[in-house]
Structure 1
Amino acid sequence: MVTDSSPTDTYASLRIPDFRYFVMNSFLMTVTLLIQEVILGYELYKITHDPLALGLVGLAEALPFIAISLFGGHLADRRDKKRILQWSSLVILFGSVILYLVFQPSVVAGLSQTARLATIYGVLMLIGTAKGFYSPASSSLKPFLVPRELYTNSATWSSSFWQAGAIVGPGVAGFIYNWVGFDNTLIVVIGLFAICLVLISFIKPKPVPVTNAPAQRLTESLKEGFRFVFKTQIVLYAISLDLFSVLFGGVVAILPVFAEDILKVGAEGLGFLRAAPSVGALLTMAFMTKYPPTHNAWRNMLLAVAGFGVTTIIFSVSTNFYLSLVMLALTGAFDSVSVIIRQTILQIFPPDHMRGRVAAVNGIFVSSSNEIGAFESGLMARLLGTVPSVALGGVVTLAVVTYVYAKSKELFAVRLG
């Protein structure tokens, strides 16, 4: 039987079995990581009552990720990407097992708070290291799962599954935490990571791309990835917009402070706050499966990042839980537009033999914006106060958009689809 997999078929990418397993794993991995992140952040804030402790969670993952991901991209270009995903997922599962053991009463009784926190941050560094291999392997595998004419469609679906996971993860985290407690929630997390390993095993191995270029030393190979990004203007500006907007405008890391001290909605309210951006993103992406934003790509990207900055400012001054939810949902909606455009750019422009390294460079920018942005959020919240620090981040985002607009007017003519 012949199935319709033309570019006009909304479900074209999902008709390919390997891509289905890939996005199912992406969904479940996202759910599981975010359940762990939400409950761990809430538990840490209960222990320390210090927003900087939340920021250090991001920093602990970001530093090893940034240090290792270029090598991870180099490895992804030369080794079996599926095998890399399996091994790195196994390390992440092992880290969750250690976290579970650290919170057992017998272990807690034998450790000082400082030693306990150091162990937690050490485990997060281990998980960050594993992500440094997992992320470029996952990103560079995706273009090999679908034909080139489905790149925009596959980018929309993979982002949609990721965003769905980002809704479900925080949304259920607070409920599971309240229902079975922190320790048992970690047991659930460990079980879900095991299912991710099974899903990855269903993906057929893909051949390693062959290039006629002479063999390179490791350092030269890594430099080549950076050179490609910095000489390809649309790739550089697309990644940079995400870096600076989320680095300064992101609020996710300090949402426990808003939930506990400003909005006073507790762990369940925190789950809703964490899920709100992804709800907005998923609804927007559902719309974009029919009406992709890639025709006037650069205009749409600049407008989306500007909208992200404006809604961040409004969120920062809100004391109403429902208004805060709406603003967070809008930040997710605007962010999803830029994500689709950036992912399409990253699938179209890099050559096959460089996808892992370009994905690694993108991963460094994304990790810098997310995890180091989390540290920046916690630090600025301590120095300036929670509300002023978030409002300032929104203002900086608008300033960055203005600067990039002035420098990139020739990109308005680019058509991605």
Structure 2
Amino acid sequence: MSSTPSHTAPDEASEQQLPLRHHTPFKLFWCASVASTIALQMQIVAVGWQVYQLTHSAFDLGIVGLVQFIPSLILVFVVGHVADRFDRRNVARISALVEASAAATLALGSLGGWLNREMIFVIVAVIGAGRAFSKPTMSALLPSLMSPRALPGAVAGSASATQFAIIIGPALGGFLYVAGPAVVYASSCALFALCSLLLWLIRRPPQADLAGATKPTGASLSSVFAGLAFIRSKPAIFGAISLDMFAVLLGGATALLPVYANDILHTGAVGLGLLRSAPAAGALAVALLLARRPLAGRVGRTMFIAVGVFGLATIVFGLSRSFPLSLAALAVLGAADMISVVVRSSFVQLETPDAMRGRVSAVNSVFIGTSNQLGEFESGLTAAWFGAVPAVLIGGIGTLLIVLLWIRLFPALYQVDRLAARRS
């Protein structure tokens, strides 16, 4: 009953079954993801600080979030089509080069002294367009590089890399800003270019569908409408998604961190970088804890409590005049947000039939993803009207009110005990 094994491309065929530490495509992908995320996080710190130093306007900080949001909204349908029709390695490579070019323009403009507010907005929009392609394409590329057995570990490793980079990137950006914004942007440019180079080194796995021709992964108009219809028919799922969306929309205190670092805490660019890193540090700590001790029961109530803690931490941060207390509040905020995200994402996936998961995920990604940038715009607009501290307090109080209202509107969601796969 034995047969001679095939020796066609043995290295490539067997590599997908290797442990992750010996899996060359995954290591290249992992390093590319880390480089890209660190570059983006460094850039976020530099752009926020530079815009506020140029204009001293909280409203302009909100505009930064808005101009990042607009490309992702316009391109949401195009991105899925491109990622499904073309080699995802090439799409990700080109996206990284676009982001590198934008970072280089920011560096040259800072060195030459011709970079103004309007130009920063335009360049940030270009970065947003590049990110609109790179983020979903990278997510869709990973399964093409791994065997089904190795994929869960690869996803976990990729997520850990992202959290690590979100902690390191802002702090590094703040420290480098001491030498000038051009140094931060040039470093970001180099990291984006490195990301593209690493992606170029990834070989095409045997029999891999890198163009996703048969299974679209991006959002399409029909998938979004079908997903919306399903979500509207399931109050608990609608409640989980909308709770997280409104919490992020109202609690966008991170958009105003340059104001706090400059005017309230007086910590400078270095302090801004540390403030930016704090939520990710809290989120990573909780993610590691939940990996060891998953939530066992009363997950619905836990999610509501987590969102409430998110709102309370936002209020504490808004009132704080102490840098250590502000860091602690932001770390708690990130930790609470991670608990909410884990419960929400698991609940939505498990309560959705397999045939609908792609479409529901498309809607979820559109609403949750865009609420981050819209939350930054809302915070900037509110701060322009009432001041930074009232804007943060309004967001925190609004989040608490949303929690109380959602408990009344979605009692079934609050009463969810355990996360279990839906039977259909």
Question: What's the TM-score once normalised by structure 1's chain length?
Answer: 0.82
Q: Which runs of 5+ in 2 are unaligned?
A: 1-18
Distance 1:23 1:350 in 2: 31
Distance 1:278 1:195 in 2: 23
| Matched-pair contact (CA < 8 Å) for 2:347–2:419 | no
Deviates more, 1:137-146 or 1:381-390: 137-146
Distance 1:411 1:238, change over 3 A: same
Partner letter of residue 44 of structure 1? V
Distance 2:202 2:297 in 1: 32
* 2:31 equivalent in structure 1: 24
Distance 1:371 1:140 in 2: 23
Distance 1:257 1:99, change over 3 A: same
| Matched-pair contact (CA < 8 Å) for 2:297–2:418 | no
Write the mapping of 1:220-231 to structure 2, written as runs, cut at 5 A: 220-227=222-229, 230-231=232-233
Partner letter of residue 51 of structure 1? A
Shift of 1:304: 1.9
Deviates more, 1:246-255 or 1:15-24: 15-24
* 1:196 equivalent in structure 2: 195
Write the mapping of 1:260-409 to structure 2, written as runs, cut at 5 A: 260-293=262-295, 297-344=299-346, 349=352, 355=358, 359-406=361-408, 407=410, 408-409=413-414
1:91 to 91, 98, 123: 98
Partner letter of residue 70 of structure 1? F
* 2:250 equivalent in structure 1: 248
Shift of 1:39: 1.0
**Count of residues in Structure 1 that have an aligned counterpart in Structure 2:** 394
* 2:9 equivalent in structure 1: none
Deviates more, 1:271-280 or 1:126-135: 126-135
* 2:166 equivalent in structure 1: 166
| Matched-pair contact (CA < 8 Å) for 2:106–2:182 | no
Shift of 1:239: 3.3
Distance 1:185 1:409 in 2: 45
1:62 to 50, 69, 72: 69
| Matched-pair contact (CA < 8 Å) for 1:157–1:289 | no
* 2:88 equivalent in structure 1: 81
Tell me the SS of whatever aligns to 2:294.
coil
Tell me the SS of whatever aligns to 1:415.
coil
* 1:7 equivalent in structure 2: none
| Matched-pair contact (CA < 8 Å) for 2:170–2:274 | yes
Deviates more, 1:99-108 or 1:58-67: 99-108
Distance 1:236 1:18 in 2: 38
Distance 1:220 1:142 in 2: 25
Higher relative contact order (CA 8 A, sep 6+): 1
Structure number, greater radius of gyration: 2
Distance 1:143 1:253, change over 3 A: same
Distance 1:346 1:25 in 2: 30
Deviations 1:211-234 (A, max 9, x none): 599xxxx64355345445555666
Write the mapping of 1:207-226 to structure 2, written as runs, cut at 5 A: 207=209, 208=211, 219-226=221-228
Distance 1:152 1:32, change over 3 A: same
| Matched-pair contact (CA < 8 Å) for 1:237–1:404 | yes
Distance 1:55 1:85, change over 3 A: same
Write the mapping of 1:7-18 to structure 2, written as runs, cut at 5 A: 18=25
Distance 2:396 2:377 in 1: 16
Distance 2:296 2:203 in 1: 30
| Matched-pair contact (CA < 8 Å) for 2:224–2:362 | no
Give the root-mean-square deviation of aligned CA atoms: 3.3
| Matched-pair contact (CA < 8 Å) for 1:73–1:358 | no
Distance 1:261 1:68, change over 3 A: same
| Matched-pair contact (CA < 8 Å) for 1:13–1:154 | yes
Distance 1:126 1:295, change over 3 A: farther
Shift of 1:133: 1.9
Distance 1:204 1:295 in 2: 44
Write the mapping of 1:124-163 to structure 2, written as runs, cut at 5 A: 124-142=124-142, 156-163=156-163
Tell me the SS of whatever aligns to 1:98.
helix
Partner letter of residue 163 of structure 2? Q
Shift of 1:77: 4.0
Distance 1:338 1:48 in 2: 35
Shift of 1:150: 7.4
Distance 1:212 1:320 in 2: 51
Partner letter of residue 184 of structure 1? V
* 1:50 equivalent in structure 2: 57
Distance 1:391 1:298, change over 3 A: same
Question: What's the TM-score once normalised by structure 2's chain length?
Answer: 0.81
Shift of 1:273: 1.0
Distance 1:313 1:303 in 2: 15
| Matched-pair contact (CA < 8 Å) for 2:32–2:195 | yes
Distance 1:155 1:299, change over 3 A: farther
Shift of 1:121: 0.7
Deviations 1:360-393 (A, max 9, x none): 5333223322111111111111212211211111
| Matched-pair contact (CA < 8 Å) for 2:77–2:221 | no
Partner letter of residue 41 of structure 2? L
Identity %: 35
Partner letter of residue 190 of structure 2? G
